[in-house]
Amino acid sequence: MRTDREELRVERITRPAWADALGIDRFGLWTEIVVKPKGGGESVTQRLRWIPPGRFLMGSPDDEPERGGNEGRQHEVTLSRGYWLFDTACTQALWQAVMGGNPSHLKGDDMRPVERVSWNDVQGFLMWLNARVPGLDLCLPTEAQWEHACRAGTTTPFSFGATITPEQVNYNGNVPYANGAKGLHREEAVPVGSLPPNAWGLYEMHGNVWEWCADGQRTYTAKAESDPRGPESDFGRRIIRGGSWAGYGRSARAASRNQSVLHGRYKDLGFRCARVQA
């Protein structure tokens, strides 16, 4: 139940025209969109969290265990505009409501994240969903927006602290981070929202499925950056973030970077959407 203060704050915030609901809770401000399937059937609701503009340290420090060579140098990044971000990876249910089919390798629970979708496939999803909801203007987050949201104000390797366990993150527990204790290897994605959220109410930013970003890999320097974007060639690669159920513990770190070709489709690769404030 919301407090009187929370009720007052909601009343003073105008619900975006594209949103079906607006509210606030212990994590902050949220909106929801409701998507009716093209062919009929039960509607699908997706929640988005408000990520305010701000500054954070992007990349990993030199002494972070198991860091990759493409994660430095650590540098200050300013994001000048706030954005709404799906609180979970896009589900198979939402994909089917928009696109009509389900390309996922692992079916049987529509609340699992959709996977085996290429970056190009996601552009089609965004086009169709934005056309159905005037003013929605969803996109993929940039790599900087993704890491800012994943960290949720933290500077540790994970938003949960210096290390993780399979009870917090879905990864290959046979290969834990920094010589930690071995744990469960589920060998599949779990339904979204199954594991604890970060401090900003975002679920499975670490592990479960890799997530596409809008831009390609840029080279980090120590120079402070404002709203950075990597290369976006039509024939290039795009960054994927977060690690997956099949990946090692090190790949689930907030600073860990990977990339894929635009047409790549993998059984542990999905996405979540952003809506940048004008």
- Please identify which residue in the block is written with the tokens 């930690």: 180
User: Using an 8 Å Cβ cutoff, are 149 and 51 in contact?
Assistant: yes
pTM of the model: 0.95
Would you place residue 12 in the very low, low, confident or very high pLDDT band (cuts 50, 70, 90)? low
Please give the C-alpha separations between residue 204 and each of 105, 106, 115, 195, in angstroms, as whole numbers: 19, 17, 14, 7
Looking at the predicted structure, is the pLDDT value of residue 9 above 80? no
Amino acid 8: pLDDT: 40
| HEC-encoded secondary structure of 149-167 | HHHCCCCCCECCECCCCCC
For residue 5, pLDDT over 90 is answered with no
Q: Rounded distance, CA 192 to CA 214, Å?
A: 21
From residue 173, how far is each of 71, 156, 253 by CA, in Å?
Answer: 23, 20, 14
Instruction: Tell whether the model's pLDDT for residue 41 goes beyond 90.
Output: no
Dump pLDDT digits (tens) for 48-104: 999 999 999 999 999 999 999 999 999 999 999 999 999 999 999 999 999 999 999
- Of the chain, the percentage scoring pLDDT greater than 70 comes to 96
Which has more pLDDT, 234 or 267? 267
The mean pLDDT of the chain is: 94
Is residue 4 pLDDT above 90, yes or no? no
Per-residue pLDDT tens digits for 213-266: 999 999 999 999 999 999 999 989 999 999 999 999 999 999 999 999 999 999
CATH 3.90.1580.10 applies to domain 4-276:
yes
